[in-house]
Amino acid sequence: MTRPQPALTPDAHADVLRAVQHYNDQRPLLGFQFLDELEHTTELIRQAPLLSTLVDPPIRRALIQRFPYGVFFTPILTDMSAACGSQVISSGCRLTPLRHYQKGVGVASAMLLDAGIPLVSQRDFHTLALLRARLEPGYVVPPTLRDHHEHDWTRQNLPHRHPRA
């Protein structure tokens, strides 16, 4: 199974560039060693995200070896998928032009929820903004954002949340 590559926010990318410059100013090539360690850490996150420390559910942290930095992240699942759906799943093949949806959680999501691991969907805009505000001081959550279960389509078609969601 191919796992997605972790992505940096613009602020995190700027932090990495500053750290590389700082370490290269301290000692030639040290900044590039920092990048190697960061790459190693993101690969570990990609391969086994649940081995990282749960610091503020669902935010996790993986420490970068040899440097006083950590990578903060949260797994985001694709809702409406039969495997990863956290509130709504597709009851048929994803390649079918007309898909049917039902309330529920996917197989992988159910296992994570049963293990006590909180889930976030890519459609949980309000929750994602709250997480961003925790990680990015000064970010203001727009008041109009809603999570997936609060959208009109979900309320009309699936009026009750699944008990596991």
pLDDT tens digits along 116-128 = 777 888 888 998 8
pLDDT at 110: 85
Residue 25 has pLDDT above 80, yes or no: yes
pLDDT at 34: 97
Question: Phi-psi bin for 116: left (phi > 0), alpha (psi -120 to 50), beta?
Answer: left
**Same domain membership, residue 45 and residue 17:** yes
Distance CA 57, CA 116 (A): 10
Checking if the pLDDT of 131 tops 50, the result is: yes
Average pLDDT over residues 61-89: 85
Lowest-pLDDT range, 38-42, 54-58, 77-81, 149-153? 77-81
Which residues make Cβ contacts (< 8 Å) with residue 56, sequence separation at least 6? 134
CB within 8 Å of 37: residues ≥ 6 apart: 64, 65, 66, 67
Give the DSSP H or E segment for 33: helix 30-47
pLDDT (0 to 100) of residue 64: 96
Q: Are residues 32 and 67 in the same domain?
A: yes
Q: How far is CA 100 from the centre of its chain?
A: 26
Same domain for 92 and 46: no
Residue range(s) defining the domain that contains residue 32? 10-73
Confidence category of residue 161, pLDDT binned at 50, 70, 90: low
Q: 108 and 60, same structural domain?
A: no
Find out whether the peptide bond into 58 is cis, omega within 30 degrees of 0: yes
Residue 2, pLDDT > 60, answer no
Average pLDDT value for residue range 28-56 = 91
Amino acid at 36: D
Number of helices followed by number of strands (H, E) in the chain: 5, 5
Q: What is the pLDDT of residues 90-102, one digit of tens each?
A: 877 767 777 777 8
Domain boundary among 73, 105, 123: 73
Does residue 28 have a pLDDT over 80? yes
- Assess whether 116 and 142 both reside in one domain: yes
State mean pLDDT over 4-26. 87
> In this model, does residue 24 exceed pLDDT 70?
yes
H or E element in which residue 71 lies: strand 70-73
Confidence (pTM): 0.61
